[in-house]
Amino acid sequence: MDDYSDRKKKLIVAVDFGETNSSVSYVEVPEGTVPENIPSDWIITITGYPSGFDMGKGDPMRLEVPTQLLYPKGWRFRPLDELWDAPPGSVNTSNVKSESLDFSLRWGYQVSQEMSRVASQSNLDGTLVYRFKTLMDQSDNHLKQKQDLRETLRVLSSNRTCRQEIPVEEMVQLVIIDYLTKLLEFVKARIDDDCNTSTIITTEMVICVPVIWSQKAIRDMQLCMGLAAKLVGFPGLTLKNKSMVNVFKMAESESGATWLLPSLLRSLRPGDTVLILDQGGGTVDAQTFTITSTYPLRLEKEAIRHSGDSCGSNALNEALFKHVLELLDEHEYLEDQPGVTREGIARKMAFHDFENYYKKCWSIFTNESNCNFEVPGIRYDPNFPRDRNPKPNNFTVLATKINSIFHDVFGQIRDIMIEQLETAHKNGIEVNAVVLMGGFSLSDALRRYLNESLKYHGQMYGRTYPPIHNTKHRGTTIIDAVAAGAVLRALDKKGGPRRVTKTAYGLGVYVRYNKELHGNQKPTNGIQNPHEKWIKTIQWVSKLGQEVPPTYEIALPRCCQFSYKDSNGERTEGFVIRDDIYLSDFASEDHYSIDHERNQGAEFIGSIESDVTHLADTFLDKRSKGPEGQRRGGHKYWEFHYELVYMIDGLNMKCIQRLGTEILGDLGVNIASALPSGAA
């Protein structure tokens, strides 16, 4: 790479916010460089997270950090409005009053380090929050876990800086913002060390999202990312109307495929179909793509519904925890030790010891090696209660039990894979390759199990499936595939999906009541003429399912009326126009009032208010009609005519109040969340 440290540059940063672990990748694009020509080895994935275990350079786990927080007692939450009012670069540490001696918010490996002690697992000095990403989707996955999380957040919300209660929905965003603030603060420090940040002129943030997320969840994630970046003073970032200007959205599965598939392109070509099996900590998702181009790599989602379930690698820990707790049932005396509970012992064994020392390299194809743990104070090994030589302080989980747990979870993953293959077959689609991604895909046991399942299923139905491609030994990292692939895709946005909107944008307008159009919707009396009936509706400018070009403009005629005299009978002074902007993921039919059921779910984005007093000489003189249309009894008023322009430039939309060439006011909105992932 040439030395370009003093040249102005653009920064592209991708965040893979995972349920269990997260990773961040970035690349510098020097001014004058064609982004499409930047090689993949320029992309850097953040490593060296605080309190991380001593991982060698070849350990792939160094490329990620646990998605978890440990709030100290007394941590006070600030509502979103307060955080938005905070100046850039003011990390969320003010207004913290803690009962704990250590009142810092711990995150990532700092939490893992704390939870490695039985005392912490048994009597935690604070509140542990993890897997909070699950609350961003409305699926039926993790129902019990979601209920427990919501209750935890409800309790946490009682300690806040504002009088009014903070809803659980907002608490979800606040927790995500706290985590992203810690993550981006560390990322910013790493980038500061590696390059000259004073030369960064702009930063594009790439958000990786699950395919099951709603448009609202994506908007909320975009808001959280933007606010966290603002709080840490991330270089080169521009925000308008609480939204990042330069943002790109990618589906997690497609991002991972973009990173992994190039190593397989010798055997794959345009028209081939690939099944991506994304195996994370919380969930496993399967999605089928057709390769439409190899240089650059482009994928097209098949007309097959993605499948998935809550059978990620965390399910192994949960099952082991339950088993260990049952074995400890007859060892109540362990709790005679200060600060120790049997649940704490079981949690340390299942979520720390097993996670770090056994899980990644466990083989299910032999029963020779058991899992051996140390439990100080236990009088005998629960699995060998009648042993002539009892082994105090030892705890064994038999290999047969561990293998049974693995087989249960692997079987669920197999079923997801087979379901996707069968659905493809029924639709006349031949799958040419199965590719594993996600942290769990590093398991050799899982790959072997799935390959044997593929072979058996093929023999049962007279089909031939290719073996699962092993990217583990092809020099391509898997752990950071989503983040690195998202950066790679952001460097070359050409050939993306059609820009078909999944969100409608509209304008609140008063229109004269029309019985045929508005039916039983309740009208209001006119302000200038109380004998006229008006109704406030939403005029949807962009409709759901509409294809919107990258450059697009539409101008709507607008009219605002002003009274000639105020309530004191004095001539009116000071004139302000206002336009309200809305969005909806469900509605795009015009002529319905804002509170009509057809507009249920419509969200107010913001308003544009502009003082037009200096344009009073352009107002039109009008006179309202009296009773029953008579001229007598009416009063004088003014009308001001202007345009509201919807202007789309790539992934940004601007609503502009305009009179001729004069711009009166504007409101900027990023619309990346409204378009398919990968659309530019």
Read off the pLDDT of each residue in 328-335 and give the average, rounded to a whole number.
94
> Out of 86-90, 281-285, 471-475, 541-545, which region has the weakest mean confidence (pLDDT)?
471-475
Rounded-to-integer distance, Cα 392 and Cα 581, Å: 69
Q: How confident is the model at residue 100 (pLDDT cuts 50, 70, 90)?
A: very low
The span from the CA of 412 to the CA of 392, in Å, is 37
Q: How many CB atoms lie within 10 A of CB 615?
A: 16
Contact 537, 523 (CB under 8 A): no
pLDDT in tens, 237-270: 888 878 888 999 999 988 998 998 887 667 788 8
Q: Cβ distance 225 to 205 under 8 Å?
A: yes
How far is the C-alpha of 651 from the C-alpha of 330, rounded, in Å?
Answer: 61
Cβ atoms of 20 and 131 closer than 8 Å: yes
Cα 38 to Cα 33, 487, 489, 491: the distances in Å are: 8, 11, 11, 8
pTM: 0.88
List all residues 6 or more positions away from 86 whose beta carbon is below 8 Å from its beta carbon.
Answer: 92, 94, 230, 231
| Type of residue found at 79 | P
Could you tell me the pLDDT band of residue 342, with boundaries at 50, 70 and 90? very high
- Region 11-31: mean pLDDT is 95
Burial class, 2, CB count within 10 angstroms (exposed 0-12 / middle 13-18 / buried 19+): exposed
The partner residues of 66 in beta bridges, in order of sequence, read: 21
CA dist 254 and 481 (Å) reads: 10
Q: For the chain, give the number of residues.
A: 680
| Span 83-96, pLDDT tens digits | 988 888 777 544 45
Confidence at residue 101, expressed as pLDDT on a 0 to 100 scale: 45
Q: How confident is the model at residue 79 (pLDDT cuts 50, 70, 90)?
A: very high
**At residue 22, does pLDDT exceed 90?**
yes
Give the whole-angstrom CA distance, residue 92 versus residue 570.
50
The answer to whether residue 482 scores a pLDDT higher than 90 is yes
The separation between the first and the last C-alpha atoms of the chain, rounded to the nearest angstrom, is 28
Q: What is the DSSP string of 191-214?
A: HHHHS-GGGEEEEEEEEEE-TT--
Output the pLDDT for position 95: 46
Q: How does residue 4 score in pLDDT terms, banded at 50, 70 and 90?
A: low
Q: Is the pLDDT of residue 562 over 60?
A: yes
* pLDDT of amino acid 193: 87
Name the helix (H) or strand (E) containing 536.
Answer: strand 533-542
Average pLDDT over residues 384-392: 80
Q: What is the residue extent of each domain of the chain?
A: 504-674
Position 497 confidence tier, pLDDT thresholds 50, 70, 90: confident
The answer to which of 170-184, 270-284, 575-589 has the lowest mean pLDDT is: 270-284
**Which of 401, 394, 347 lies closest to 372 in space, CA to CA?**
394
Look at 483 and 517; give whichever has higher pLDDT: 483
- Res. 632: pLDDT tops 70: no
CA distance 248 to 259: 17
Give Cα 555 to chain centroid, integer Å: 33
Per-residue pLDDT, 35: 92
CB atoms within 10 A of CB 407: 13
* Mean predicted lDDT score pLDDT of the chain: 87
Residue 460 has pLDDT above 80, yes or no: yes
CA distance 16 to 258: 14
Q: What is the mean pLDDT of residues 636-646?
A: 93
511 pLDDT higher than 90:
no
Strands 200-209 and 9-16: parallel
For the ranges 36-50, 384-398, 532-546, which has the lowest average pLDDT? 384-398
Q: What is the pLDDT of residues 417-459, one digit of tens each?
A: 999 999 999 999 989 889 898 888 888 899 999 999 999 998 9
Residue 333 has pLDDT above 80, yes or no: yes
The pLDDT of residue 56 is 58
In this prediction, residues 16-24 reach a mean pLDDT of 94
Give me the mean pLDDT over the 402-410 stretch.
97
Nearest Cα to Cα of residue 130 among 261, 282, 249: 282
Higher confidence at residue 261 or residue 558? 558
Q: How far apart are CA 238 and CA 245, in angstroms?
A: 6
What local confidence, expressed as pLDDT, does residue 596 receive? 86
